[in-house]
Amino acid sequence: MSSLIYFVEDFFEVADSMSINYEILSENKSQEKLYSLFSIYSLKDFELSINRNNLKEIPIREFLDRQKINGKHLPNGAGNKELLLELLPDNIGEVFYSFDFKDYNRLVKFKNFCDLKVILSQVYNFNYYIFDNSNEFILAWGDDEVLMGGGEAAKWVENVKGNWRF
Protein backbone atom coordinates (compact mmCIF):
# COMPACT_ATOMS: atom_id res chain seq x y z
CA MET A 1 0.00 0.00 0.00
CA SER A 2 3.03 2.27 -0.18
CA SER A 3 1.67 4.21 -3.18
CA LEU A 4 -1.23 5.58 -1.12
CA ILE A 5 -1.47 9.13 0.19
CA TYR A 6 -0.01 9.25 3.72
CA PHE A 7 -3.26 9.46 5.71
CA VAL A 8 -4.89 6.63 3.76
CA GLU A 9 -1.84 4.45 4.31
CA ASP A 10 -1.86 5.39 8.00
CA PHE A 11 -5.55 4.44 8.27
CA PHE A 12 -4.85 0.90 7.05
CA GLU A 13 -1.68 0.59 9.12
CA VAL A 14 -3.65 1.46 12.27
CA ALA A 15 -6.39 -1.05 11.38
CA ASP A 16 -3.85 -3.78 10.72
CA SER A 17 -1.80 -3.04 13.85
CA MET A 18 -4.96 -3.33 15.95
CA SER A 19 -6.06 -6.52 14.15
CA ILE A 20 -9.32 -4.90 13.07
CA ASN A 21 -10.92 -6.78 10.20
CA TYR A 22 -12.17 -4.92 7.15
CA GLU A 23 -13.04 -5.60 3.54
CA ILE A 24 -12.02 -3.36 0.67
CA LEU A 25 -14.68 -3.29 -2.03
CA SER A 26 -13.76 -3.23 -5.71
CA GLU A 27 -13.82 0.12 -7.46
CA ASN A 28 -17.00 -0.86 -9.35
CA LYS A 29 -18.81 -2.05 -6.21
CA SER A 30 -17.67 1.07 -4.39
CA GLN A 31 -19.08 3.36 -7.05
CA GLU A 32 -22.31 1.36 -7.20
CA LYS A 33 -22.77 1.61 -3.42
CA LEU A 34 -21.91 5.31 -3.40
CA TYR A 35 -24.38 6.03 -6.21
CA SER A 36 -27.06 4.22 -4.19
CA LEU A 37 -26.27 6.50 -1.24
CA PHE A 38 -26.32 9.55 -3.49
CA SER A 39 -29.79 8.62 -4.78
CA ILE A 40 -31.04 9.55 -1.29
CA TYR A 41 -28.72 12.28 -0.02
CA SER A 42 -27.39 14.08 -3.08
CA LEU A 43 -28.40 17.11 -5.04
CA LYS A 44 -31.05 16.52 -7.69
CA ASP A 45 -28.59 17.24 -10.48
CA PHE A 46 -26.09 14.68 -9.19
CA GLU A 47 -26.14 12.66 -12.42
CA LEU A 48 -25.42 15.79 -14.43
CA SER A 49 -22.63 16.70 -12.04
CA ILE A 50 -21.03 13.29 -12.41
CA ASN A 51 -21.18 13.54 -16.19
CA ARG A 52 -19.49 16.95 -16.08
CA ASN A 53 -17.10 16.35 -13.23
CA ASN A 54 -14.99 13.45 -12.16
CA LEU A 55 -15.92 12.04 -8.75
CA LYS A 56 -12.20 11.56 -8.17
CA GLU A 57 -11.62 15.32 -8.28
CA ILE A 58 -14.45 16.69 -6.15
CA PRO A 59 -14.99 16.02 -2.42
CA ILE A 60 -18.00 13.75 -1.90
CA ARG A 61 -19.59 16.24 0.48
CA GLU A 62 -19.94 18.72 -2.40
CA PHE A 63 -22.59 16.42 -3.86
CA LEU A 64 -24.65 16.24 -0.65
CA ASP A 65 -27.95 18.12 -0.59
CA ARG A 66 -27.79 20.58 2.32
CA GLN A 67 -31.58 20.32 2.66
CA LYS A 68 -31.17 16.63 3.58
CA ILE A 69 -28.03 16.98 5.69
CA ASN A 70 -27.61 18.51 9.15
CA GLY A 71 -24.16 20.08 9.49
CA LYS A 72 -22.57 21.63 12.58
CA HIS A 73 -19.20 23.24 13.09
CA LEU A 74 -17.29 21.71 16.01
CA PRO A 75 -14.53 24.13 17.03
CA ASN A 76 -11.30 22.25 17.78
CA GLY A 77 -12.93 19.02 16.60
CA ALA A 78 -9.74 17.67 15.08
CA GLY A 79 -7.92 18.06 18.39
CA ASN A 80 -10.75 16.46 20.34
CA LYS A 81 -11.79 13.61 18.11
CA GLU A 82 -11.93 11.21 21.07
CA LEU A 83 -14.85 13.23 22.49
CA LEU A 84 -16.46 13.47 19.07
CA LEU A 85 -16.30 9.71 18.61
CA GLU A 86 -17.42 9.06 22.19
CA LEU A 87 -20.59 11.10 21.58
CA LEU A 88 -21.55 8.98 18.57
CA PRO A 89 -23.60 5.80 19.12
CA ASP A 90 -21.88 2.42 19.54
CA ASN A 91 -24.78 0.14 18.67
CA ILE A 92 -24.37 0.31 14.91
CA GLY A 93 -23.62 -2.84 12.96
CA GLU A 94 -21.95 -3.12 9.59
CA VAL A 95 -20.81 0.19 8.11
CA PHE A 96 -19.12 1.41 4.97
CA TYR A 97 -16.34 3.94 5.15
CA SER A 98 -15.09 6.22 2.42
CA PHE A 99 -12.34 8.71 1.95
CA ASP A 100 -12.87 11.28 -0.78
CA PHE A 101 -12.45 9.33 -4.00
CA LYS A 102 -9.59 11.60 -5.05
CA ASP A 103 -7.65 10.14 -2.11
CA TYR A 104 -8.82 6.51 -2.31
CA ASN A 105 -11.50 5.27 -4.68
CA ARG A 106 -12.74 2.21 -2.82
CA LEU A 107 -15.12 1.75 0.07
CA VAL A 108 -14.02 -0.10 3.17
CA LYS A 109 -16.55 -2.29 4.98
CA PHE A 110 -16.39 -2.89 8.75
CA LYS A 111 -18.43 -5.39 10.73
CA ASN A 112 -19.36 -2.66 13.23
CA PHE A 113 -18.99 1.03 13.92
CA CYS A 114 -17.02 0.49 17.14
CA ASP A 115 -14.08 -1.02 15.23
CA LEU A 116 -14.06 1.96 12.89
CA LYS A 117 -14.23 4.42 15.79
CA VAL A 118 -11.10 2.85 17.28
CA ILE A 119 -9.22 3.48 14.04
CA LEU A 120 -10.53 7.03 13.63
CA SER A 121 -9.36 7.93 17.13
CA GLN A 122 -5.78 7.19 16.08
CA VAL A 123 -5.46 8.81 12.64
CA TYR A 124 -5.01 12.22 11.00
CA ASN A 125 -7.78 14.75 10.34
CA PHE A 126 -9.24 14.33 6.83
CA ASN A 127 -12.61 14.17 5.09
CA TYR A 128 -14.45 10.88 5.56
CA TYR A 129 -17.92 9.40 5.14
CA ILE A 130 -19.68 6.59 7.00
CA PHE A 131 -22.98 4.96 6.08
CA ASP A 132 -24.84 1.69 6.46
CA ASN A 133 -25.87 -0.87 3.88
CA SER A 134 -29.49 0.30 3.74
CA ASN A 135 -28.51 3.99 3.50
CA GLU A 136 -30.50 4.86 6.62
CA PHE A 137 -27.76 7.30 7.54
CA ILE A 138 -24.70 9.10 6.31
CA LEU A 139 -22.21 10.66 8.68
CA ALA A 140 -19.53 12.89 7.22
CA TRP A 141 -16.58 14.67 8.78
CA GLY A 142 -14.78 17.49 7.03
CA ASP A 143 -11.25 18.63 7.71
CA ASP A 144 -12.81 22.06 8.25
CA GLU A 145 -14.25 20.61 11.48
CA VAL A 146 -17.83 20.30 10.25
CA LEU A 147 -19.77 17.18 11.20
CA MET A 148 -22.64 16.37 8.85
CA GLY A 149 -25.39 13.81 9.20
CA GLY A 150 -28.29 12.68 7.07
CA GLY A 151 -31.09 10.29 7.94
CA GLU A 152 -30.62 8.82 11.42
CA ALA A 153 -27.25 10.56 11.73
CA ALA A 154 -28.89 14.01 11.71
CA LYS A 155 -29.88 13.34 15.35
CA TRP A 156 -26.36 12.22 16.21
CA VAL A 157 -24.97 15.51 14.92
CA GLU A 158 -27.40 17.43 17.15
CA ASN A 159 -26.36 15.32 20.14
CA VAL A 160 -22.66 15.92 19.49
CA LYS A 161 -23.17 19.67 19.04
CA GLY A 162 -25.31 19.87 22.19
CA ASN A 163 -22.59 18.17 24.24
CA TRP A 164 -19.60 19.88 22.64
CA ARG A 165 -17.40 21.56 25.26
CA PHE A 166 -14.94 23.51 23.15
Going from the first residue of the chain to its last (166 residues), give the mean pLDDT of each consecutive group of 10, the final group possibly shorter. Answer: 84 98 95 87 64 64 83 93 93 95 93 97 92 96 93 96 90
Q: pTM for the full model? A: 0.89
Q: Write down the pLDDT at residue 25.
A: 98
Per-domain residue ranges of the chain: 6-162
Q: Write down the pLDDT at residue 143.
A: 87
36 vs 43: CA distance, rounded Å = 13
Q: Write down the pLDDT at residue 111.
A: 97
Burial of 123 (0-12, 13-18, 19+ CB in 10 A): middle
Q: Write down the pLDDT at residue 45.
A: 60
Q: Write down the pLDDT at residue 10.
A: 96
DSSP per-residue codes, 27-63: HHHHHHHHHHHHHHHB-TTHHHHHHHS-TTTS-GGGG
Q: Write down the pLDDT at residue 47.
A: 58
Q: Write down the pLDDT at residue 59.
A: 76
